[in-house]
């Protein structure tokens, strides 16, 4: 008998219907919106919302450049990494994530510190 030890979360997601996936995405969006509004009363929450808005603006700028036939700006990755680190730090401050991804955050901080 052969056993497959794949990623159970990914396998469960693959079995979901499009309707179930859309319902989950909708619930997540509602929770994320409520969280952003609630967190806005805290300094880390305001910074969290500002960093997420800056990340959306970065992607919008990149999309606009792409539609115009231009390549990605040379500093895109650096700007993105800085925003990701800022968002991660704010998530930690707000208790939205655990320190389990701290090695990745430390790697980013080390890279950005030498840039």
Position 66 scores a pLDDT of 93
Residue-wise pLDDT for 33-60, tens only, equals 887 788 778 888 889 899 999 999 999 9
Give the span between the Cα atoms of 115 and 112, in whole angstroms: 5
The model carries a pTM of: 0.61
Going from the C-alpha of 107 to that of each of 3, 46, 80, 92, 95, the distances in angstroms are 36, 25, 14, 16, 21
Q: Which residues have CB under 8 Å from 58's CB, separation 6+?
A: 76, 79, 80, 83
Residue 30 has pLDDT above 60, yes or no: yes
Grade residue 6 by pLDDT with cuts at 50, 70 and 90.
Answer: low
Residue-wise pLDDT for 56-107, tens only, equals 999 999 999 999 999 999 999 999 989 998 888 888 888 877 666 566 666 6
Are residues 62 and 76 in contact, defined by beta-carbon separation less than 8 angstroms?
yes
* Cα 56 off chain centre by: 10
Count other Cβ atoms within 10 Å, centred on residue 38. Answer: 11
Name the DSSP class of 96: S
């Amino acid at each position: 008998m052969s056993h497959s030890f794949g990623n159970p979360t990914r396998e469960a997601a693959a079995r979901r219907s499009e309707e179930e996936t859309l319902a989950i995405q909708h619930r997540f969006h509602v929770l994320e919106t409520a969280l952003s509004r609630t967190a806005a009363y805290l300094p880390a929450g305001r910074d969290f919302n500002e960093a997420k808005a800056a990340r959306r603006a970065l992607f919008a700028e990149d999309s606009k450049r792409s539609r115009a036939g231009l390549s990605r700006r040379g500093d895109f990755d650096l700007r993105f990494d800085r925003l990701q680190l800022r968002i991660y730090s704010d998530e930690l401050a707000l208790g939205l994530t655990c320190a389990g991804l701290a090695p990745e955050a430390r790697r980013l901080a080390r890279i950005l510190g030498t840039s």
